[in-house]
């Protein structure tokens, strides 16, 4: 096996155009060839497999090798995707738009892709500078492109990057789903098998989009919720989490008529090291601490935070009971606020619907029913949510919201921010706060609460073993509550989403869902309850969280 790995590494080295990863790999090969056990293990990790191209495209750690994100892997992906688009073309020259964020190598990967698309005979349009993911998703539809590529790893650790793929036409600018993912992957594999990325045709005859594409996105997003009278009195804080959201959002605020926020200066501009946070995700403990400190100084009414590529949004409000006096709302709470807003606007529109992933709050179904709208429950991911028939609004509990489906068929943390500002301004105009809006939600649609238990693992086999144990020895109760029904979504019941998901409905109306994470080495458990009061719903969730941990300990 050692000889095989060394041969694979040398073949990779010959096609690598990047001096940094070439030097990194050459050093490893030298040490491994001399019998260094650590170097051999490192080579095995880099080459025993390749980053899988799936419905989320590519995402992984930067470095040399087929199991890392690098210029060889990106070249193979771009050439394979170009072959797929040529194969599917029904006439004319396919058009691809390419965007990139502020992570390490994002611009390099985007430029490589533009050159390879152009070299393959496609019309390639590179966005003018680093921009949020929603701008790329918007550009695919706005330009009538056949496809789009966004180079980003969203809120992953600093040394990761990724390659997210969208399709235009009948896919309306949504992310890819089966069977397109497997077909693209097959084309990529054929390119990889040739092991000659350096020989792939390139051309600098790609286009660079003008500022008009950004201006069009700004205008469309400002129209989501133009500032009502009195909005100038809002006091709020914003952080870009070291990402690319601020420049675009600040222009939209001006266009929509909202006041500029107090900003977290340390996190306002793109920084690929994400130096002030251990993990650049607003959901992670400590990630919003600087925002909380800024809000206390500014005596703010609320905080808005984007993740680094600005496709997600976090919202925090003052809460005397919370540590530091501020509480980040859950993605479900924000989703229900925005869902109720959308439902009020869509009421009476034939075929209009609300949609959320199966792990998100069942409260959205109650909102849809209250307003006479259709409701769709999908698998996790906006590639599914965005395809819901008649969608007026969609969300996922992991801070993702689709509020403007006519322009962006993906989660969009910037348009969601504008929608929240509209809600906050309207509430302020009648002397209410966002906390009051949450209370009104419960009074109107029922009191829902949610919780989550995540188990991070070093060995992915642990997750498979736990899922197998739950299937072979199913639980009969959780936290003393009997299980009324258990569903294994691997079975793919007609009309239901299918996947590696276990769903338990309890006799008290609560729900527990277990699934492996699609992007991290985690087992995730989602808990939802409904009660006569907000306090009752929260208490039920706390008890179920303890019961879930005990169950997982038994099955581990």
Residues carrying an active site annotation: 154
What is the rounded distance in angstroms from the CA atom of residue 315 to the CA atom of residue 333? Answer: 9
Residue of 399, 413, 382, 394 whose CA lies nearest to 333:
399
Closest CA to 120 of 206, 195, 234, 189: 206
Distance between CA 177 and CA 389 in Å, rounded?
Answer: 16
Q: Which two tokens stand for residue 364?
A: 């959205």
C-alpha of 56 from chain center: 9
Instruction: Burial-class residue 183 by CB neighbours within 10 Å (0-12, 13-18, 19+).
Output: middle
Q: What is the DSSP string of 263-304?
A: E-GGGSS--TT-TT-SS--TTSTTTTHHHHHHHHHHT-SEEE
* Pairing outcome for strands 207-208 and 123-126: parallel
Q: Rounded CA gap, 190 and 318, in Å?
A: 55
For residue 50, give the DSSP letter: -
| Total count of residues recorded for the chain | 556
Give 259's DSSP letter: P
Strand bridging mode 174-175 / 447-456: unpaired
- What is the dihedral angle through the alpha carbons of 354, 309, 142, 425, rounded to the nearest 10 degrees? 60
Q: Is 59 helix (H, G, I), strand (E, B) or coil?
A: strand
């Amino acid at each position: 096996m050692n000889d095989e790995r060394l041969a694979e590494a040398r073949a990779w080295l010959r096609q690598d155009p990047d001096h940094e990863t070439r030097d990194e790999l050459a050093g490893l090969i030298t040490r491994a060839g001399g019998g260094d056990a650590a170097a051999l293990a490192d080579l095995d990790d880099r080459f025993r497999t390749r980053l899988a191209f799936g419905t989320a495209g590519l995402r992984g750690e930067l470095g040399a090798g087929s199991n890392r994100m690098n210029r060889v892997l990106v070249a193979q992906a771009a050439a394979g995707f170009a072959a797929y688009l040529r194969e599917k073309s029904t006439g004319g020259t396919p058009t691809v738009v390419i965007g990139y964020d502020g992570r390490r190598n994002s611009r390099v990967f985007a430029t490589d892709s533009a050159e390879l698309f152009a070299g393959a005979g496609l019309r390639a349009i590179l966005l003018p500078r680093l921009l949020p993911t929603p701008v790329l998703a918007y550009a695919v539809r706005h330009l009538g492109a056949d496809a789009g590529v966004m180079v980003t790893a969203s809120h992953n650790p600093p040394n990761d990057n990724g390659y997210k793929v969208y399709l235009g036409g009948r896919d309306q600018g949504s992310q890819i789903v089966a069977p397109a993912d497997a077909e693209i992957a097959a084309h990529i594999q054929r390119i990889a098998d040739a092991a000659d990325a350096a020989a792939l045709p390139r051309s600098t005859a790609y286009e660079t989009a003008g500022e008009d594409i950004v201006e069009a996105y700004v205008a469309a997003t400002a129209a989501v919720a133009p500032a009502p009278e009195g909005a100038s009195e809002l006091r709020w804080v914003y952080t870009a989490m070291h990402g690319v959201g601020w420049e675009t959002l600040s222009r939209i605020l001006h266009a929509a008529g909202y006041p500029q926020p107090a900003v977290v200066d340390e996190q306002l501009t793109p920084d690929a090291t994400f130096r002030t946070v251990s993990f650049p995700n607003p959901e992670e403990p400590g990630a919003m601490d600087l925002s909380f400190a800024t809000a206390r100084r500014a005596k703010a009414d609320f905080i808005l935070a984007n993740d680094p590529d600005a496709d997600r949004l976090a919202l925090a409000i003052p809460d005397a009971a919370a540590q530091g006096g501020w509480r980040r709302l859950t993605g479900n709470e924000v989703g229900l606020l925005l869902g109720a807003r959308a439902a009020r606007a869509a009421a009476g529109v034939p075929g209009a619907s609300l949609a959320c992933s199966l792990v998100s709050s069942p409260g959205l179904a109650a909102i849809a029913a209250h307003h006479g709208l259709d409701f769709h429950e999908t698998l996790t991911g906006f590639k599914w949510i965005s395809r819901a028939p008649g969608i007026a609004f969609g969300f996922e509990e992991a801070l993702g919201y689709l509020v403007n489906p006519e322009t962006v068929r993906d989660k969009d943390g910037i348009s969601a921010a504008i929608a929240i500002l509209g809600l906050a301004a309207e509430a302020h105009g009648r002397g209410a706060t966002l906390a009051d809006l949450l209370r009104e939600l419960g009074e109107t649609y029922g009191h829902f609460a949610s919780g989550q238990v995540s188990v991070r693992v070093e060995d992915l086999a642990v997750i498979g073993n736990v899922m197998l144990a739950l299937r072979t020895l199913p639980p009969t109760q959780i936290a003393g509550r009997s299980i009324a029904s258990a569903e294994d979504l691997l079975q793919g019941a007609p009309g239901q989403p299918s996947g590696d998901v276990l769903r338990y409905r309890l006799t008290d109306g609560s729900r527990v869902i277990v699934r492996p994470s699609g992007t991290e080495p985690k087992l995730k458990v989602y808990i939802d309850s409904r009660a006569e009061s907000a306090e009752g719903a929260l208490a039920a969730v706390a008890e179920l969280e303890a019961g879930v941990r005990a169950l997982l300990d038994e099955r581990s």
